[in-house]
Structure 1
Amino acid sequence: MNGTLAQAERGTHHGRLIGRVLARLYRVRVEGADRVPASGPVVLVSNHSSAADGPLLFTVTPRPVHFLIKVEMFTGPLRPFLHHLAQIPVDRSRGDRAALTSALDVLRQGGVVGIFPEGTRGQGDVAQVQQGAAWLALQSGAEVVPVALVGTLPTRRNRLDLPRPGSRLRAVYGEPFRVSVTDAEGRTVPGRERLRLASAQVRDHLAAHVVRARSEV
């Protein structure tokens, strides 16, 4: 096994400690985790509304995940911990080609990359997305799995930006899909338009999945 992926395997094992903490703080329910392909490259995309989202998704996903995490988190005691978990720092102030290249390398080795394509915490309704997830899917041919995180939106914003202890949190995995952008004659759309349309495809799939998950009891 490649060193980076082996590190992710070890990191995921140690990271399960996070899951135990979440299980004590919240009522966590996982739905459809078997929809994550058991092997091969996968881009995991999720809505994002609180600081609990990353740790929750990291611990409940059945395969080791390399998340793209804002570089500001790689400071103090979190820095060695996140590196140990084989997470990928990304500078959101610019198009961070190095971060995308690292993520693409993971996918080409058959691993899983996790992205919050909204780019920052908000209402978690996927009103807009950045293009990184679509670019990775196009470049690697990976399957994309949408995940709806329900219940993580804080009732009121607080210093830690976390939902109230005891809240019911749900991680709902959707059906995998492949990004495919062609014109009316079935020819691949070239250049920037291809990336724009692929990003819209990712947004539409994820937004629709979030709406469905939120409507379920």
Structure 2
Amino acid sequence: MHIAVSVLLQSLRRQHSGYIYVLYFIWIPALVFTLISSSMYPRGYDRHLGLCVPLQPMTYSDPLAVADFALCVCVCLSSYLVVSCRSRRSSPFAVQTRMCSRTEMYVLNALLTYVPMFTLYLDDRLLTDELFNATAKVFECSGGFLNTVTYGMQSRYANVLAGRTSTVQRGAGSPTLSASYSVEFSSEIISIHNMRLVEEGPHM
């Protein structure tokens, strides 16, 4: 979720350096939600299943955890939707393509990471399926790895790591330099009128 909020702040041209300090206290609401969840919906170990299951029969595995999951999904999708709409409305086609591909990859990572675990929380019967349980946990734990790979693939240093020529590799004496940003031409004509400024010196 913090990646989605960072992309949104970057799209809104906001300085998000001050928001980094919020990450130092992010464990406080996480601890509060964990304590509330464990007190309202206690779990116990089942010897036959070999898993920790809710002590009370419920439709969902943990309603508070399901609500937390849904809140995170709504924040992420809303942030990426705002970024996509802003780029389509006020940016050239080249910028739109780059921003859409960037947001689509992070949305795909979020879906691959949390949808299996979210399904596991929705249906308590899936806890007994060892294959699905292990798959959901593996995808959830690989969220940081997928986001790191996505960030590296979209970085300007990806060409250097892949062995392709890039502006980072070329020195200042190279005869040809590629553009660092995509440029497109349109039929719109913009007229700029030059104004002559006359500076008057002090009279002697």
- Does TM-score exceed 0.5, indicating one fold? no
Q: TM-score range by the shorter chain?
A: under 0.3
The structure number with the bigger radius of gyration is: 2
Give the number of the structure whose residues are more often strand, by fraction. 1
Give the number of the structure whose residues are more often helix, by fraction. 2
